[in-house]
Amino acid sequence: MSLIPELNNEADVLICGASRGIGLALCAALLPRGDVARVWAVARKASTSPELAALAGQYGERLKRVDCDARDEQSLEALVSKAREECDHLHLVISTLGILHQDGAKAEKGLAHLTLASMQASFTTNTFAPILLLKHLLPLLRKRPSTFAALSARVGSIGDNRLGGWYSYRSSKAALNQLLHTASIELKRLNPAATVLAIHPGTTDTDLSQPFQANVPEGQLFEPAFSADRIIELVGAHGPADSGTFWAWDDKPIVW
């Protein structure tokens, strides 16, 4: 199976949120592949990440580390300028951006815990940053096969919401899903070979899930490497015919 459907040559890949968790695991999984030409590892502090430095020592110029805050459009403009110096097309972009209880966001249990500040923090990282990333990278996705995948969450499904709580996180991921679905319609007109996917990676052993892992059923807490492998399999299995859809780590569709 090729990295993405209909791709017959080596891929340029960009991972945003690459310095830790699933993003770092994706870099580690993609770099050894013979069908990957380069991996652009994008994070706020990519250039000073010891983990990315170790990968750079192993893979050399095949790993491009770029400091970029996807919540800032000037930073995104600089990212695109740097990428266009070395390639004219990105075949695969994966956004792993997301917060639940970091950077001012909170996992609210009830309405009384809601604050404007926590909602703004959640939406800025979970919703606005991924779609702004897609906006700015669009010139590099407008020809030949390309896939843009963003990590969403099952709790962002309105149809699947039976427990309530986590107001900011749920709603920010639901909004992300709508933005991705809308973008998929536009990209289908601009590039019929383009695919946009929302992916739920499962509960993964990262900083995001750490305070809540005690409630995860046995066997349902995944290592980042496992989640990365499942994401790579998903993007390889779903092409333009599935653009604008929402998938779980086990390749089952999730209702909106």
- State the Cα angle at 165 between 163 and 168, rounded to 5°: 135
In this structure, of 101-110, 136-145, 238-247, the range with the lowest mean pLDDT score is 101-110
Which residues contact residue 210 at a Cβ distance below 8 angstroms, ignoring those fewer than 6 apart?
A: none
Which residues contact residue 199 at a Cβ distance below 8 angstroms, ignoring those fewer than 6 apart?
A: 149, 150, 151, 152, 231, 234, 235, 246, 247, 248, 249
Instruction: Sort 147 into a burial class: Cβ within 10 Å, 0-12 / 13-18 / 19+.
Output: buried
Fold topology of 11-253 = Rossmann fold (3.40.50)
pLDDT at 86 over 70: yes
pLDDT value of position 211: 52
For residues 86-98, average pLDDT = 95
What is the residue extent of each domain of the chain? Answer: 11-253
pTM of model > 0.85: yes
Quickly state the pLDDT bin for 213 (edges 50, 70, 90): very low
pLDDT in tens, 35-79: 999 999 999 999 999 999 999 999 999 999 999 999 999 999 999
pLDDT value of position 19: 94
Query: How far separated are the first and last CA of the chain, in Å rounded?
Result: 28
For residues 148-174, average pLDDT = 94
pLDDT at 210 over 70: no
Tokens of 221: 């807490």
Quickly state the pLDDT bin for 107 (edges 50, 70, 90): confident
